[in-house]
Amino acid sequence: MSYAPLLRDVRAHFGLLQADLATWLGISRSLLALVETGREELPRHARPWLFPWLTAQALPDDETTVPAPPLAPALLLASAGPAAALARLRECDYQVRRLHLQHLALLGTLRTAARRLAAAPVLHAALPPETAAEPVALALRRRWLARLREAATDALLPEAEAGPVVAALLGMRGEAYRHEGVLLEAWLAGGKG
């Protein structure tokens, strides 16, 4: 059985670097790269450490969608109307699209953090009880998992620099520009000016 597609899927789903997943699997990053490209097999000792990720990957996911911005209205291409109003309409359209892309990227980052946080208990359950003299690889996994959980928790805090509040505000800014554009379109269509 080739583990290459499973490893790539896990890394993509949880936004992990090869070095991150390699630490958890107890192998080198270069070996993980060879396994992912199909040039090597995943070592037997690493296989059991992949299964908690596959279990976590099957957990329900919050697939919040953001509606796509409207297509540029025909009025944007027209030259009828006051130049200042047309320029502002074009600016609104540009800002709606720009903010939409930023919002999507930020939501993707938050979704990845939420997936990592949801995976943490599954990964923790895969670890044996802690002992005073445990192998180095196991101690590395514990520390790595603690950092993963802490980073995911921090990313989802309301006061986080790129957290959920910032995502909501970004969405609101886009909606404000969209609303202004709709009002400008109606005003221009009504023959004002």
94-131 confidence digits (pLDDT tens):
999 999 999 999 999 999 999 999 999 999 999 999 88
User: Above 80 in pLDDT, residue 81?
Assistant: no
**What are the domain boundaries of the chain?**
1-58, 61-193
User: Above 60 in pLDDT, residue 132?
Assistant: yes
CATH class of 1-58: mainly alpha
Return the C-alpha torsion angle 147, 150, 153, 159, nearest 10. Answer: -120
Among 105, 64, 98, 109, smallest CA distance to 174 is for 98
Band the pLDDT of 157: cuts 50, 70, 90: very high
* pLDDT score at 189: 81
User: Above 90 in pLDDT, residue 82?
Assistant: no
Mean pLDDT of 162-185: 93
> Which of 23-37, 78-92, 96-110 has the weakest average pLDDT?
78-92
* pLDDT score at 131: 87
